[in-house]
Chains A and B, each alone.
Chain A
Amino acid sequence: QQPVQSPQAVILREGEDAVINCSSSKALYSVHWYRQKHGEAPVFLMILLKGGEQKGHEKISASFNEKKQQSSLYLTASQLSYSGTYFCGTVGTGANNLFFGTGTRLTVIP
């Protein structure tokens, strides 16, 4: 039931772009993205609801393909503050519970 994320880890130089993928084996109602820094609680980034929408702001955006049960998080022109572990969370159709993906550790270096 746990969504699978790829890659497991990525190292970027400041200003580079990254894509993090999240794939589920179940039909999804929504996908949530969180960032967690070491020793802190996960921080909500965005939610995508069923409908294939793309969301986000300037440099962090995401898409949701409900047919493929996949979501991708796009980070452009990365900053040092983007470092952390990114988790997708999925809610299945007709469910309330959020299940977290395997996580992607992102490190941005100067």
Chain B
Amino acid sequence: SAVISQKPSRDICQRGTSLTIQCQVDSQVTMMFWYRQQPGQSLTLIATANQGSEATYESGFVIDKFPISRPNLTFSTLTVSNMSPEDSSIYLCSVPVGAGRDTQYFGPGTRLTVL
């Protein structure tokens, strides 16, 4: 398994501002994933963050709204830009672990409320 931490654990933000969420892993991983979980909903993949290259975004998510950085193999950030109340969600990072890198483990999540 992997130990994954996220900061902040929760935040309350004003409409129009931006928040940067950090994800730290205790081991080097090639890929990191960012998910959003809206209240009462399933998890939706936002993007895949690879070290040394641009993040790959899923349909419905764009870099201007959710810029991602991946400066090294143990760290990534996700910024939620120009926030609106619809961005209120839990944001989670995950990493593939195990011999075949098939299993994904999740960080504790960042609970974001936008007023």
Contact = CB atoms under 8 A, between A and B. Distances in A.
A89 B109 CA distance: 18
A100 to B, nearest CB: 4
A41 B109 contact: yes
A41 B92 contact: yes
Contacts, number: 46
Interface residues of A, number: 21
B31 interface: yes
A41 B42 contact: no
Given A2-B42, A41-B108, A32 B33 contact: no
Given A40-B108, A98-B94, 5 more contacts: A96-B48, A98-B104, A100-B44, A101-B42, A102-B42
Contacts of B107: 41
Interface in B9-50: 31, 33, 35, 41-45, 48
Nearest to B90: A41
Contacts of B109: 40-41
Nearest to A30: B102
Interface in A65-110: 87, 89, 91, 96-103
Interface in B44-100: 44-45, 48, 58, 92, 94, 96
Contacts of A18: none
Contact of B104 (A44, A49, A101, A103): A44
12 contacts: A30-B102, A40-B108, A41-B92, A41-B106, A44-B105, A47-B102, A96-B96, A97-B48, A98-B45, A98-B104, A100-B35, A103-B42
Contacts of B108: 40-41
A36 to B, nearest CB: 9
Interface in A11-27: none
Given A30-B102, A41-B106, A47-B102, A96 B31 contact: yes
Nearest to B44: A100
B23 to A, nearest CB: 12
